Amino acid sequence: MELGSTLRDQGIRWCQRSQAPMKVYVLLYNAGTDNEGIHSLSIGDENIILMFEDEDDAQRYAMLLEAQDFQAPIVEAIDREEVEAFCQDSPYQPQLIPRDFRPSNDFERLLLAPPELNREETDWSEDGRSADVADEEADSLPASDLEALRRRLEGLL
């Protein structure tokens, strides 16, 4: 089954590649850092990146996320083609939310209502493991070094 086919069957209007560069608004976390991430929705087996045509709509969605105790994202303008190119090289599907979008079915309502649950892991390493786990493994000391450190600390007491 094609990645987007089940979503199209549910009545969603997938965006088509645009002819001219168009700015869209996406939600970013940790913008400008090495740990920058983009907001996505996991619906079934699909991972969807929302691209808002209207900045105010993106701001409202960001406020809804924050009101549900999610990490506060920032709204960033970006070329639509850049998001689409990113999605082509990843397991994500871009979804344009048009200005003044009004959902017409249950599935489209999911696009405008932030999820109830948030993924706890937001840091990822290239090998697919959580970056926290990779950092812990890199920072762990051999047992003999830990024991020596413990004795030195106890000696300070």
Q: Which candidate, 108, 113, 115, 121, places its Cα nearest to that of 37?
A: 121
Instruction: Quickly list H helices, 1-157.
Output: 5-9, 55-67, 80-88, 106-112, 131-139, 143-156
CA separation for the pair 117, 69 (Å, rounded): 10
Question: Between 141 and 48, where is the model more confident?
Answer: 48
| In the chain, % of residues over pLDDT 70 | 66
Cα Rg of the chain (Å, integer): 21
SS3 76: strand
Where are the chain's structural domains?
5-122, 125-157
CA separation for the pair 71, 61 (Å, rounded): 13
Question: Between 65 and 118, where is the model more confident?
Answer: 65
Residue 157 banded pLDDT, cuts 50, 70, 90: low
Segment 17-73, tens digit of pLDDT:
445 568 999 999 988 888 888 998 888 888 899 999 999 999 999 998 988 888 889
